[in-house]
Structure 1
Amino acid sequence: MHFTTLLTSTLALTMSVSAAPTPVPATPENTRYVQLRLYSDADCGQDGNLGELGVYGDYVNKCNAFGDYTVESVRFEAAINNCTVSVYTDDACQAGAQGVALDTCLSSSTQYGSYQVFCSQL
């Protein structure tokens, strides 16, 4: 009787340990290098807050369009590895380039269409 109870308890413990999630190792593709907050109005006003944009490795060192969002201001909230951010007035990272400093709001009277995150380590 005790043997059956012990065996059942051991099997239950083994099953619960094996069901634990396996942590995903950090890779450049799943590392968040930059966090931006986008706004649909000037001066990073709370009423126009579109939410945060986490930029992961697949989107670093290349042009990325904001898509259907109307973005008039951008706050550069956080970065790792000394990454920098530039925003552009077109969708192809060609026109109206402006750098965004960390912990600041970049605002313009024109709409931003795209961004680039530059990380020299990648």
Structure 2
Amino acid sequence: MYILNKTPIFLEFLKRFMNKAGYVFKDENIQNRLFLHSKCNCKQKDCATVYLKSKKPFKKESTGINIFNTNKGFFVVHILDDGFFEFEALLYKKYPYKKEIDKFFNKIEK
């Protein structure tokens, strides 16, 4: 797991999205709770899915799937009780963070 501060563009995008979507991390900064785990390797140009992991498992009432249809694309937030957090972004023309995430994980894989 890697700290979100290593990808500042993604961190800022995630914070803004979570705030607008109504997700609240009570008494915690998101970067203290979630960590980068991996990215989707489907190689689709319109995919920028990132898998995050929480230090501690999520409560049952917090788990589930929420789909957000924006004017720029779809976002799927899938929260699992084992602490995984899938931030799926589809059909989005310009991901502000895609190059940063690709570069970060490609550097780690080498």
TM-score range normalised by the length of the shorter chain: 0.3 to 0.5
Higher helix share: 2
Query: Which structure has the greater CA radius of gyration?
Result: 1
